[in-house]
Amino acid sequence: MKPGTLHTVVYWGAMSFEFLASFLLVAAVCEPAMIHVNHSTTLGFRAWTQQNLNAIGIVLSAAIFVFRSIRAFVGPPWLWITISEILREFHTAVFSELGEWEFANHHRVTLYRYRRFVLWPTGRGRWPFSGGRFPWSGWLVPVLRAGPESPGSTVWCAHETKYDGFCGAVFRMQAGTAEKGPPGLPDISQDSTEGEIEEYARNTFVDPITIRNRIARGKPCARYYLAIRILVDSRKRWGVLMIDSREEKLPRAQVATHRFDQVCEVLSHLLKRVS
């Protein structure tokens, strides 16, 4: 999945406004006559800017800061296109041996981004702010996914102690990479017993209600997870890259583990540009 039109419009819009605000700031401070208007208007404009120079400077500086922050938060479109290509290549390398239908629907590589504040964490199938979780608790939001067309919708809590989901646990644990597969993860389907659902939920750090909701909506439950925490500058936790699959283990495990670290290192360099 590649970044959408909205992303591109927001990025280039913010860049244009930042440029415009910078130009106006320079014009106001250095030479108001840089703005091409007729002579009498120029004189009036010059007098007005000189009277309100401090206020203009503050407003334009704030506007530049805001637009620059938006640009840094959104990240350049080329970066997301590059990352989506890297994830697609990685996905193909790991799962290409499987059939096309399986390949598209049941084996995913997802990039989650950590955000301190999320107004409404989606995809949980229940009230998201239970158990002491709040919009400011810190959340992992899916931003790119290789496999299905959808980037994913489930937002996981990444609070220091109240994390949930396998990616939430990996984000908070000391070890940088974690793996989980059977026997801890039974095959979950419409016919699964309550005990199996509870065991699966416990082993994937989620509430059994979330699993029941997934079953009710016909969504598959993965039987294998491999997740790696992405650090930028070797220290700042940016997010998590996670493989989840309906297979009990990865079809090309050696290729996957060999490439997984490499992909993570490349991402940690690229994602420095997205604050």
Partner 1 sequence: MEKSLWKFVDTKRLNAPREEVVGDVHVTVYFGPDDMPAAVTGETDSEKGVIRIFFRYDSEGEARVRRVLGERRSILYGKKTKRIYGLELPSDSSQSRISANVVSTLNRIQETSREIGLERVENYLAAKQAYEQVSPQVESLLRSYYDRGVARPTVTGEPGGSIDSRSD
Residue ranges binding partner 1 (CB under 8 A): 169, 173-180, 184, 202-203, 205, 228-229, 231, 233-235, 261, 264-265, 268
Burial state string for 217-233 with b = 16 or more CB within 10 A and e = fewer than 16: eeebbbbbbbbbbbbbe
Task: Provide, rounded to whole angstroms, the least separation between the CB of residue 42 and partner 1.
Answer: 50
Task: Report CA-CA distances (Å) from 157 to 175, 195, 237.
Answer: 18, 24, 14
The DSSP letter of residue 178 is: E
What is the secondary structure of 9-34 as a DSSP string? HHHHHHHHHHHHHHHHHHHHHH-GGG
Task: Provide, rounded to whole angstroms, the least separation between the CB of residue 195 and partner 1.
Answer: 16
Task: Provide, rounded to whole angstroms, the least separation between the CB of residue 261 and partner 1.
Answer: 5
Other CB atoms within a 10 A radius of the CB of residue 259 amount to 16
* Cβ proximity to partner 1, 71 vs 180, nearer residue: 180
* Cβ proximity to partner 1, 102 vs 247, nearer residue: 247
Task: Provide, rounded to whole angstroms, the least separation between the CB of residue 210 and partner 1.
Answer: 16
* Cβ proximity to partner 1, 179 vs 247, nearer residue: 179
* Cβ proximity to partner 1, 74 vs 226, nearer residue: 226
Task: Report CA-CA distances (Å) from 115 to 24, 89, 108.
Answer: 33, 26, 22
